[in-house]
Every structure is written in structure tokens, then in C-alpha cells.
Amino acid sequence: MEDLHIRKDGRAGRITFTRETALNALSHAMALALEDALDAWRDDPQVALVVIDAQGPRAFCAGGDIAAVYHAGIAGDFAVGRDFWRDEYRMNAKIAEYPKPIVAFMQGFIMGGGVGVGGHASHPVVGDTSIVAMPESGIGLIPDVGGTWILGRAPGRLGEYLGITGARMGPGDAIHAGFARHYLPEAEWPAAIAALVETGDPARLPERPAPASPMAAAAAEIDAAFSAPDLAGIIARLQATGSDLAQGALKAIGRNSALSMAATLHLVRSARAAPDIRAALTQEFRFTWRACEKGDFLEGVRAQIIDKDRNPKWKFADIEALDPGLLEEMLAPLPPEAAIWEEE
């Protein structure tokens, strides 16, 4: 398809994002094409592994293409978003569970939907330009695409910090947090890909020492603040700390949707006990299914992506006034017709 270059090359199945002018944003059609390619190569003896990369220096994939979801939602059609997320989540799970190695080379911005593709690969690779984040609370959503699954497995309370604030990670932080497993200078990527294509052997991926992780160095402070039982407690601990990290976190919390942050806190902590990524995705879908109709998502997209005034008028802006019943409603089980998985 136009936005993806999908082909077989030597011993590898190759998928390259080619939507450079849109920061390789993932559309519904792209998610379906990715899934179709993975299905086709699963039992193909020619394909020993899959390599996913992207054109352009600015982004591997900066997120999902949610403009169509916004416009449909404003018109009262919530099925467009629900169908996109269901199909995207099914693709995310297939990447995480794929029986063959998947090597993802992720430069530039890797956010949201980009994490859902590259972050679940068996061999996610970052370089010096890589910037990883799950900033969905800033658009009235939650860290989805299996993001809560990764966040729930980050060291200490780093998952809560990253999910609630949307803080950006460089390559060292991304590896420390579990969003990547390999660091390789980007100048070495073409040779590494050529070796993978020729041999089909993921062991040919060079190992280089990862850069330092500032978030690892701040672990004690992050854990102390973000282990509080709720958002109000987290804010109180950050205010008492007063450090640069705390001030940055408070600034992010002050501009995000209270409903989204409360749901994120619950989902990240629930994901720690989830048996697999499908369980985490199922819980995420409960929120995103209702996000256009009942949450802050449409206003968040308007402010950040459509009008770009960066001034959302949240329905749920006051953390202290947030109704616990609303959170329960947003995260309640869905009806059978909303199931993601075919076996359900």
C-alpha cells in the first residue's frame, strides 16, 4: 500500500513506513496491512524473521492517525474509532506473540501507535535520535496499543510516572523502561539490516552499550511520589518534593485530562497482574471504546491536532472533583459485540 512498503527480501519479511510527511502516523488501513503481512509470513518458510523500519529521520511512527476518528466522533459516529482501535489492538497482540523474530529499528519520534508496533517486537532497536513517549493523557485518552502492558513492567513506579505525565524517553531511558531492548548507532543500521536480510538470524544484530538513563538515576524520587494510592496523593508528594523532576511532572499533570490520568493509573497497576498482553489490551479497549462518547478525547484531539491551540477545555479537569463512579463506568466490561478477539 502507499503508506507502507511491504515485501520479502532475502530471508526477511520487510515492512517500511513510507508516510514521512505525516511522521509515519499509523492509519486504520496501515494497521490492517501490517496484520495481513504478519499473517502471510507466519508459516512462510522463506521468511525467517521480520524487519520493520521507517523512512525519514524525524519519526519511526509518531502515533495513530486519529483525525478521521475525531471527525466521525464530532458527527456522532463512534464506530470509526472503535473499529480502528479494535483492529489495531489485534495487530499489536500479533506482534507481541509472533512466533518468528521481529526486529524494529525505531528512530526519531516513537509515540502511541508507534510503540504499539515497535515496542512489542522481540528485538526493538533505538538509536541516538529516538524519543519514546506515551502522551495520551494529554489528548484525553490512555496509554493504549498495549502501552499499559509495557508500563506495568517498567521498574518500580516508572510506569505510573510515564503514563500519567507522558514524559519523553531518550534511548537509555527507553531501554531502562522496557520500551526497547537494543541500542545501536543509526549509522550502523543499514549494515545490520543487510545482515539480517541475508542470514535471517537475529543474533547478527550487533550489541552496543546503552546510553545512561536519567530516569534510572531518579528512580528513588519517582518511586516515592508515584507509589501514592491516587492522583491526589501523587500530586501532594510531588509538591512536597519541589525538585525539577517534580515541577515538570506537576506541569504535565496540570495540563492533562484528570479522567485520563485516573484511568491510566488504574490500568497501569492492573496490567501488573495481567496474565498477558491480550488481557491488558482488553482493559484498554474498555476506555477507548467509550472515549469519544463519554470522555475528553474529542476535545483533546481538537486542541492538540485539529485547531492546535494547545488549550483543551476538559470536561474532567478537576482531579479532586472527579467522580469515582465515572471511572468505574469507563473501565467496566464491554458487551459481547465489542470483543477484540475472535475466540471470544
Which of 94-103, 193-202, 255-264, 333-342 bottoms out in mean pLDDT, i.e. has the lowest? 333-342
- Active-site annotation holder among 113, 140, 163, 300: 113
- Active-site annotation holder among 136, 160, 221, 299: 136
In this prediction, residue 317 has a pLDDT band, given cuts at 50, 70 and 90, of confident
- Active-site annotation holder among 13, 53, 63, 64: 64
Give the per-residue pLDDT at 342: 77
In this prediction, residue 122 has a pLDDT band, given cuts at 50, 70 and 90, of very high
Q: Are 321 and 275 in contact (CB under 8 A)?
A: no
Q: In this structure, which amino acid lies at residue 60?
A: F
Average pLDDT over residues 325-343: 91
Percentage, residues of the chain above pLDDT 70: 99
Query: Which three cell numbers, joined as nine digits, stand for 313?
Result: 477545555
Q: pLDDT tens for residues 35-72? A: 999 999 999 999 999 999 999 999 999 999 999 999 99
Distance CA 34, CA 272 (A): 28
Distance CA 3, CA 224 (A): 44
Q: Which fold has domain 4-338?
A: 2-enoyl-CoA Hydratase; Chain A, domain 1 (3.90.226)
Compute CA 313 distance to the chain's CA centroid, rounded to the nearest angstrom. Answer: 24
Is the pTM of the predicted complex or chain greater than 0.75? yes
**Owner of C-alpha cell 483492529:** 87
In this prediction, residue 344 has a pLDDT band, given cuts at 50, 70 and 90, of very low
- Active-site annotation holder among 35, 88, 144, 284: 144
Q: pLDDT tens for residues 135-191? A: 999 999 999 999 999 999 999 999 999 999 999 999 999 999 999 999 999 999 999
Q: pLDDT tens for residues 66-109? A: 999 999 999 999 999 999 999 999 999 999 999 999 999 999 99
Asked about 64 being catalytic, the answer comes back as yes
Running DSSP on this structure, what letter comes out for residue 32? H
Handedness of CA 230, 234, 239, 241 (dihedral sign): positive
Give the per-residue pLDDT at 318: 86
Asked about 76 being catalytic, the answer comes back as no
